[in-house]
Amino acid sequence: MQEVKKIEASEIAKLLANNVSFQFIDMSDDELGRSLPFPTIPIPFTELEENIHLIDKSKLSIVGCKFGEKSFFTTYKLQTKFEFTNLQSLAGGIENLKNALKQL
């Protein structure tokens, strides 16, 4: 099984502080990521394959969902089936990320 890289909320805060460019793929069914302080690409888990064209393979991509489970499996699928290489799965989910960003 191919390794899925995970990223902690604190690491995303560092990326933002250092103006590192990335795209955030919001896999939550209720577009939870809309309230994040950076642009997101909402792609519900069930609509991944028909919206794969929205993800730029050349950019660092962080995949997030409510709790971190869908993002893990989505990251694995993007790596193995669609040959994405520059991916990280958000550990702990979007709610955890929102709480971490409030503390900045």
The runs of H, that is alpha helices, within 1-104 are 9-17, 69-80, 93-102
Query: What order of strands is seen across the sheet that includes strand 61-64?
Result: 6-7, 87-90, 61-64, 23-26, 40-42
**Total domains in the fold of the chain:** 1
Residue 16 belongs to some domain of the structure: yes
Q: Which domain holds residue 44?
A: 6-102
Report the C-alpha dihedral over residues 10, 12, 15, 21, rounded to 10 degrees. 180
Q: How far is CA 18 from the centre of its chain?
A: 18
Residue 46 belongs to some domain of the structure: yes
Q: Where does the pLDDT of residue 1 fall: very low under 50, low under 70, confident under 90, or very high at 90 and above?
A: low
pLDDT (tens digit per residue) in 54-102? 999 999 999 999 999 999 999 999 999 999 999 999 999 999 999 888 8
CATH code for position 71: 3.40.250.10
> For residue 13, is pLDDT > 70?
yes
The pLDDT mean for the chain works out to: 92
Residue 78 belongs to some domain of the structure: yes
Whole-model pTM over 0.75? yes
pLDDT (tens digit per residue) in 14-23? 999 999 999 9
